[in-house]
A and B are shown apart, each in its own frame.
Chain A
Amino acid sequence: MSGSEAALTPWAGASEIATAVAGGQVAATAVTAAALARIAHANPRLNAFTDVVAARAMARAAAIDAALAAGRPVGPLAGVPFAVKNLIDVAGLPTRAGSRINRDHPPAARDGTLVARLEAAGAVLVGALNMGEYAYDFTGENVHDGASRNPHDTTRMTGGSSGGSGAAVAGGLVPIALGSDTNGSIRVPASFCGVFGLKPTYGRLSRAGSFPFVASLDHLGPFARNTGDLAAAYDAMVGPDPADPVCTDRPAEPVGAALDAGIAGLRIGLAGGYFRAGASAEALAALETVAAALGPVQAVELPEAARARASAYVITTTEGAALHLQRLRERPEDFDPDVRDRLIAGAMVPAAFVAQAQKFRRWYRDAVLRVFATVDVILAPATPCVAPAIGQKTFVLDGREHPLRPNIGIYTQPISFIGLPVVAVPVPLPGGLPIGVQVIAAPWREDLALRVARALERQGIVRAPVPPAAP
């Protein structure tokens, strides 16, 4: 079997791959070559990758095989292919962040912290992934690189802004991808593409070596097709990093060992009110399926959730505009027009509103923490609907037509606004597209959200469905 990938399907998870590589059943070079072949075959259809680093990946895989042959340790993710949203630095590539403008930047001198940590655990970077320009996006569309396409129906959006990350994992190109989430950009594509996504606590994972969007709200995190892989990727990346001033100096708290601790004794809350209004039948069906599987749940209200979303919106548009102000002055025609016009408007919002939004953020955090005194985990929809058609501009929420682009994140924004950890779990609906549910925990309790996700997965309630035209 050595040197062949016959034992591993494209749907093999990271843990399965790492076990096979470490056990000598398959060479890391064979796994990597197979991933590169899948990307070459499927990427013209999915448009998930903007860069493939084949030579680097094969060299890295060969080094793992050599280490194994010499009896040296290779790490818990030995030979596992992964890819990163193209706002995360990859040595030798300009970090384009979905933009045309940043392509003129010099190539990154070194990898971002999370890339380095995954590779230190034995994983093999195979490329960088498509995204909405400068991460100001929920669609996965990109005027410069083309839309990433949903593996379950390539006429549909992946969701964004980490659209390539959702497509690459859902389409079987890689078992693990990294994305960023400022207002929902991991959880929205996880929902539309039917995969698991983890947005950790704000400050939990280092953002060093990534292009920012909204410093107050930016998070990085992993996508995977099962909870074990999500936890393994997280465990490989977690820990302090002085290079990111927001990254916590709490010691790493790995989650893998307690993943199967079960949910006995956990109090499960079901978000009502704001988190039901506007939800489609599919979103509510997924939420109810998950809630029913977890046994008794108690209804909870997150106070002022609409205002929390409004505050996140104001902080996002103003901080984003401040970040890009000079580029908006000098090269406005080189932006995606949808992004440019929102950023220009953001620059014009008076500062008094922004200061109030940051004050409200603390008020809301305190109010939500009081809710977490009564429950351990809260369930809420991830998106109001399944994946819309690529190019769609409006959708109906609560009986009224709204612009699509700014409103896909209505359920994710009030959660990331205060940095709560969330696992987006995919619910396959009979005969339809998948849709996600947010499993939300109190700050620093990623372990609880992952345990609940794992319990749901064990029951068969949540899983990443294999798309119809799989490689």
Chain B
Amino acid sequence: MSETAELDAMVDAAAAVLGLRVAPEWRAAIRAHLAISLGHAHAVADFALPDEAEPAPVFRA
């Protein structure tokens, strides 16, 4: 499957789960933005962190 086809499949599946409509004329931009966001996401995921690493947000009751 090409990268474009993979992204299109992801857009279709996620849109169905999220209840979002993707008009045909929006698809190319959404696909491009998703590719950029996933590129950044993988850069983050590739960084090894210990299981005990605490996430940053702090909630004080």
Contact = CB atoms under 8 A, between A and B. Distances in A.
Contact of B43 (A307, A332, A338): A307
A382 to B, nearest CB: 21
Contacts of B33: 317, 341-342, 344-346
A345 B34 contact: yes
Given A329-B20, A347-B14, A362-B54, A353 B41 contact: yes
A55 interface: no
Given A348-B11, A406-B36, A360 B18 contact: no
Given A342-B33, A348-B14, A328 B20 contact: yes
A299 interface: no
Interface string B10-29: 11001100111111001001
A132 to B, nearest CB: 16
Interface in A302-328: 304, 306-307, 309-311, 313-314, 317, 325, 328
B10 to A, nearest CB: 6
Contact of B53 (A328, A352, A359): A359
For chain A, give the interface size range. Answer: 35 or more
Contacts of B39: 310
B26 A337 contact: yes
| Secondary structure call for the A interface | helix
Nearest to B41: A353
B56 interface: yes
Contacts, number: 111
Interface string A379-422: 00000000000000000000000010010000000000010000
Contacts of B38: 349, 353
Nearest to B29: A341
A329 B30 contact: no
Nearest to A318: B37
Given A314-B40, A329-B19, A352 B45 contact: yes
A102 interface: no
Interface residues of B, number: 35
A341 B20 CA distance: 11
A349 B37 contact: yes
A353 B54 contact: no
B18 to A, nearest CB: 5
Contacts of A358: 55-57
Contact of A363 (B21, B31, B49): B49
B12 to A, nearest CB: 10
B53 A362 contact: yes
Contacts of A317: 33, 37
B5 interface: no
A48 interface: no
Contacts of A363: 47, 49, 53
A307 B19 CA distance: 31
A361 interface: yes
A218 to B, nearest CB: 12
B50 to A, nearest CB: 9
B28 to A, nearest CB: 9
B54 to A, nearest CB: 6
B49 A360 contact: yes
Contact of A347 (B20, B26, B29, B44): B20
A360 B47 contact: yes
Nearest to B25: A337
A340 interface: yes
Nearest to A313: B40
10 contacts: A245-B60, A307-B44, A310-B39, A310-B44, A314-B40, A317-B33, A344-B26, A348-B18, A361-B55, A362-B53
Interface of B: 10-11, 14-15, 18-23, 26, 29-31, 33-34, 36-45, 47, 49, 53-57, 59-60
List of 8 A-B pairs having minimum Cβ-Cβ separation, nearest first: A345-B33, A358-B55, A353-B41, A310-B40, A361-B56, A348-B14, A341-B29, A345-B34
